[in-house]
Amino acid sequence: MRETGRGPEPHPLMLVNARIIDPSRGSDFHGDLYVAGGVIKDAAFGLAAAGIPEGAEVVDCRGAVVAPGLVDMRAFIGEPGAEHRETLASASHAAAAGGVTTIACQPETDPPVDDPAIVDFILRRARDTAVVRVHPMAAITKGLRGEEMTEIGLLQAAGAVAFTDGARSLKSAQVLRRALTYARDFDALIVHHTEDASMSGGAMNEGAYASRLGLSGIPKAAETIVLERDLRLVAGTRARYHAASLTCEDSLDVLRRAKEAGLPITASASINHLSFNELDIGEYRTFFKVAPPLRAEDDRQALIRALASGLVDVIVSDHNPQDVEMKRLPFAEAEAGAIGLETLLPAALRLVHSDAIDLVNLLRALSTRPAEILGLKAGTLRPGAPADIVVFDPGTPWLLDPAHLKSRSRNTPFDAARMTGQVQRTIVAGRTVYEYV
């Protein structure tokens, strides 16, 4: 594996003999793609046969897919304040190795992202240290305390792409209503974690398996009650709203009714909830402790169907690095969270290999839809768009070794998992930032 960082202006690049998928246009064809000046110039069948521009690097992509780079809407990064868990630099290298060219990072830092100066700090640090694009989400409330609203307009002007309190759900309906009202006036996006804190003190999904393990459970109602409340507030304010991570069939029923009513809402599911169910916890395997918790298999299958139908718009990594001391504890005491930037694409490809979803729609949920929702110039291979591209072989089998991951933490639920589909090259603004050798 080879990584390249910042440097002089990249040479023009011609990707030839590729299967080119552009979900933004619904296109899927075999051909070539030409990049110059950091932007996509053209993508067509027989482009290379018409002549290779002088000085262009030619990459033979036979057997590989060329697609827009992935856009991850939900990644927790420790910088500033918890650099021992993850830095912007380490997260960006993990992202590049996973084909992720854009990260939307969460505001749960120390200090939290509730001031324009912190937004500016993250943008400058990312510019200086990261190899992929990093866009901060800002806090809805000051100090993430759920009480006093932040300055949405000033934070948006500083560069915040959305507003969220991360993994914290707002208890006060009035605070959320005010935030939605102000966000509407700025056409800002509210991203909310739908989990009632008074009902989510357990360790795993409530049910027979939790009882068998002797662990306290978190009911599905903890999610659906908050989602129902939120969508009633959206109906009254008409603000743009995104449910951060839905996990159960009951929530999907609520989401479906709201979308049918024409509310301006979108939703994500994490790759963890699409890949695993509560039984994967096995004998107290803490790498499978996530928040919200893994649900029953029926819920997982319902999420997959909702993704395939477009009811669920986006797949997120829910990247949440935790150091070993916080995971090497009894299950009930261990911190929730799993890393996921580097495994997002190969894990998602399992859904294609099982015929649950076609590749174009999967890539739409991983790139085009999150870019559209966040208002970013990404998720497309249209001429003139930034050359943020992933090249991957969907058929390459490999075994995941956590020691080879680029994140500073190793809390992956895919430890020793057999994967099919490997990133070969990641390109950001026309520059190769990761290459598998």
Closest CA to 89 of 407, 320, 387: 407
Q: What is the mean pLDDT of the chain?
A: 96
| Bridge pairing between strands 217-218 and 13-22 | unpaired
Measured distance CA(170)–CA(387) in Å, rounded: 38
Site of tokens 């978190």:
218
DSSP string, 192-233: E----GGG--SSEESSHHHHHHT--EE-THHHHHHHHHHHHH
Task: Tell me the backbone φ, ψ of residue 416, rounded to 5 degrees.
Answer: 65, 20
- Split at pLDDT 50, 70, 90, the class of 437 is confident
The proportion of the chain whose per-residue pLDDT surpasses 70, expressed as a percent, equals 98
Query: Is 28 contained in some domain?
Result: no
pLDDT value of position 1: 55
- Split at pLDDT 50, 70, 90, the class of 10 is confident
- Flag whether pLDDT at 6 surpasses 60: no
Q: Contact 96/436 with Cβ under 8 angstroms? A: no
Using the CB atoms, write b or e for 242-271: b if 16+ within 10 Å: bbbbbbbbbbbebbeebbeeebbbbbbbbb
- Flag whether pLDDT at 137 surpasses 60: yes
Query: Is 235 contained in some domain?
Result: yes
Range of the domain at 128: 68-374
| Bridge pairing between strands 39-44 and 27-36 | antiparallel
Query: Is 409 contained in some domain?
Result: no
Catalytic residue, candidates 318, 323, 358, 393: 318
- Flag whether pLDDT at 234 surpasses 60: yes
pLDDT, mean of residues 182-205: 96
In this predicted model, what pLDDT tens digit does every residue of 280-310 receive, in sequence order? 999 999 999 999 999 999 999 999 999 999 9
**Considering its fold, how many domains does the chain have in total?**
1
Measured distance CA(83)–CA(437) in Å, rounded: 29
Query: Which domain CATH number covers 369?
Result: 3.20.20.140
Query: Is 399 contained in some domain?
Result: no
pLDDT, mean of residues 65-71: 98
pLDDT value of position 9: 72
pLDDT, mean of residues 79-100: 97
In this predicted model, what pLDDT tens digit does every residue of 142-175 receive, in sequence order? 999 999 999 999 999 999 999 999 999 999 999 9
- Split at pLDDT 50, 70, 90, the class of 11 is confident
Measured distance CA(69)–CA(95) in Å, rounded: 10
Cα 364 to its chain centre, rounded Å, is 12
Query: Is 422 contained in some domain?
Result: no
Query: Is 387 contained in some domain?
Result: no
Query: Is 379 contained in some domain?
Result: no
- Flag whether pLDDT at 2 surpasses 70: no
- Flag whether pLDDT at 5 surpasses 70: no
Instruction: Specify whether 355 is catalytic.
Output: no
Going through 120-199 in order, the beta strands assigned E by DSSP cover 133-136, 189-192
Query: Is 401 contained in some domain?
Result: no
Long-range CB pairs of 84-88, under 8 A, 24+ apart, other chains included: 84/323, 84/408, 85/321, 85/322, 85/323, 85/408, 85/409, 86/321, 86/407, 86/408, 86/409, 87/129, 87/408, 88/122, 88/125, 88/126, 88/129, 88/130, 88/134
